[in-house]
Chain A
Amino acid sequence: MRTGLALLCAVLALASLALGPVDLAALWARDPELARNLFIELRLPRTGLALLIGAGLGASGAAAQALFRNPLASPDVLGPSSGAALGAVLAGYFLGAGVIGMAIGGLAGAGLSLLLLLALAGRGAGATRLVLAGVAVSMLLGVAINLALSLAPSPFALYDLMFWLMGSLNDRSLPQLALAAPLILIGIVLLLRAAPALDTLALGEEVAQSLGVGLSAVQARVVLAIALATGAGVAVAGSIGFIGLIVPHLVRPFVRHRPGAAIAPSALAGAALLSAADIAVRLLPAALDLRLGVLTALIGAPFFLCLIMGRR
């Protein structure tokens, strides 16, 4: 399955590099230097960010569902996505921080939201309590974002914030890719290294502890990794929801429902899904101006409903 997903990612990446408002092949024949600049400065960062952010969200979703042993756990439901958005908004707009400041704000917001979640749930909390605490944290952060919006310095700044929160990869730059890529990759690597421990945790906390897997250590590692993978993505692209929720469910049947084993294919499937969504946004009529985060939500919300209906 991994090879198939990797091939799908490669095909979508090529499509993403080739598609855009300008015919790159025709431009190459006319002005190779301009075509090269356009390719490197615009197409490459957009494609790279779609793959990386999608991979980070997919892996984070799979790891969250494994850690909390709940199929509804994901960066959107538990709070790190909202935390990252709030952190980036506060850093960017109210502290006047630059691109790096927004990234730090995003990482801090995602990490703090997860720490708050663990603190609220308490030591040795069951999966249900953790998810309930996550929903509470997510709602709290949603309110805090609304407060930040209502305290925007001016109505025009408010529009900026609202559009940013809708998520987009439009016209992203190489410096933004260079900033987000290492952080997301470190997050994904940390999650992949935690996969065996998460598989063991699926057997139950007592069994896992008897096998030498400490819950606190796994929690700390996964929280840090999700903060890195989610926070860096949100800081560069805004809020992009539902990828982390959908993707683990799509891949889990292919890994015999082993939660840890779902992390790597979830990363690949997340990369493919976000790349496909970003291509779809570009193919839609320009007048629609549909934002990437809105499109992923349009796909994800019905999926979420189906998931709940299927479990009745």
Chain B
Amino acid sequence: MLAFASMTTGAVSAATPARVVSLNLCTDEYLLLTARPGQIASISRLGADEQESPLARQARGLATNSGQLSEVIEQRPDLVLTMGHDPQGVALAARLRIRLIALPYPTSPAAVVAQVQQVAALVGNTPAGTTFAARVAALTASAPKAQPGLMIGGSGLAPAMDGLAAGWLRLAGIAQQQGGQISLERLLVQPPPILIRNVYRRGQLSGPQAWSQHPALRQLRVTQVEADGRAFLCGGAAMPAEIARLRKALAT
């Protein structure tokens, strides 16, 4: 179904593409997980940044782009992957007869699995998609009984209770209690049994960072576990490893 949901342009070739480009952090991660060595012409610069993606190490030595289709034309890609609504990019790709696939934002772990399998099939490496699907299936089968908890990021923003992040958290044994903006006062007075702190760009100070370092938050006497905010940016290909890590952290 996702194959129909994604937008495809240009001449479709059944042959395995030799030069694949990704313009988006989330499709970067799919590509790094599924493509064979030498098949990636470039990924976005975010995908190669260790502060943005846990898979960035796998991107060492790869060419990067700024996420604009016009920049990668000279790389003569057989296939361009991106994510989200990009009508201008789709129209430009159609004019240039470049095969561009714009995947929709996934809303559940199952949708992520389907997208990884789709990308794996596109790059001619179906087993990589099967392996990922099997890994998520194993995590789902072994998921601990969900207990109430709260994942919260800088500035007190919590992911939606029925969203993608909450779906992955359930596989770690956490049922997201609430979503949206949560004040530090409410958090202190009604603390969740388990607090998952979504840590992103720890080394750089910003408003959200200052919030997450608030002394009151540090005093909260509940189980506190840190999540790798980079993995939750996309909630995609890097999530199985992050869920396994979270399970270990919650068990100790």
Is A99 in contact with chain B by the CB < 8 A criterion? Answer: yes
Other-chain contact of B215, A160, A164, A175 (Cβ < 8 Å): A175
Q: Is the CB of B216 within 8 A of A157?
A: no
**Shortest beta-carbon distance from B89 to chain A in Å:** 16
Q: Which of A37-45, A138-146, A249-257 touches B?
A: A37-45
Assembled-state Cα–Cα distance A168/B208 (Å): 12
Q: Restricting to A77-104, which residues have a CB under 8 Å from any CB of B?
A: 92-93, 96-99, 101-102
Other-chain contact of A157, B155, B189, B204 (Cβ < 8 Å): B204
Which chain B positions have C-beta within 8 A of A34?
A: 188-189
Assembled-state Cα–Cα distance A303/B90 (Å): 46
Q: Restricting to B175-209, which residues have a CB under 8 Å from any CB of A?
A: 181, 183-186, 188-189, 200-201, 203-209
Is A27 in contact with chain B by the CB < 8 A criterion? Answer: yes
Which chain A positions have C-beta within 8 A of B204?
A: 92-93, 96, 153, 157
Which chain B positions have C-beta within 8 A of A97?
A: 205
Q: Is the CB of A37 within 8 A of B216?
A: yes
Which chain A positions have C-beta within 8 A of B211?
A: 171
Q: Is the CB of A289 within 8 A of B185?
A: no
> Interface extent on A, as a size class?
35 or more
Interface size on B, residues (CB 8 A): 30
Q: Is the CB of B189 within 8 A of A99?
A: no
Q: Is the interface of A mostly helix, strand, loop or mixed?
A: helix
Q: Is the CB of B205 within 8 A of A238?
A: no
Q: Is the CB of B201 within 8 A of A157?
A: yes
**Shortest beta-carbon distance from A174 to chain B in Å:** 7
Q: Restricting to B41-92, which residues have a CB under 8 Å from any CB of A?
A: 46, 49, 51-52
Of A34, A37, A156, A170, which is in contact with the most chain B CB atoms at under 10 Å from its CB?
A: A156
**Shortest beta-carbon distance from A34 to chain B in Å:** 7
Q: Is the CB of A173 within 8 A of B185?
A: no
A22 touching B186 in the complex, CB below 8 Å, given contacts A92-B204, A96-B204: yes
Which chain A positions have C-beta within 8 A of B215?
A: 41, 173-175
Knowing that A156-B200, A160-B154, A164-B206 are A-B contacts, what are 18 other residue pairs whose CB atoms are under 8 Å apart, sorted by A's residue number? Answer: A22-B185, A38-B188, A41-B214, A41-B215, A41-B219, A42-B216, A96-B203, A99-B205, A99-B210, A101-B205, A154-B46, A157-B206, A163-B155, A164-B207, A171-B183, A171-B184, A173-B210, A176-B210
10 closest A-B pairs by CB? A160-B206, A41-B216, A164-B207, A171-B184, A92-B205, A22-B185, A21-B183, A22-B189, A21-B185, A173-B214
Which B positions have Cβ atoms within 8 angstroms of A? 46, 49, 51-52, 154-156, 181, 183-186, 188-189, 200-201, 203-211, 214-216, 219, 233
Q: List 13 A-B contacts (CB under 8 A).
A: A20-B185, A21-B186, A22-B189, A41-B219, A93-B205, A102-B205, A153-B49, A154-B49, A154-B51, A154-B52, A156-B200, A157-B206, A163-B155
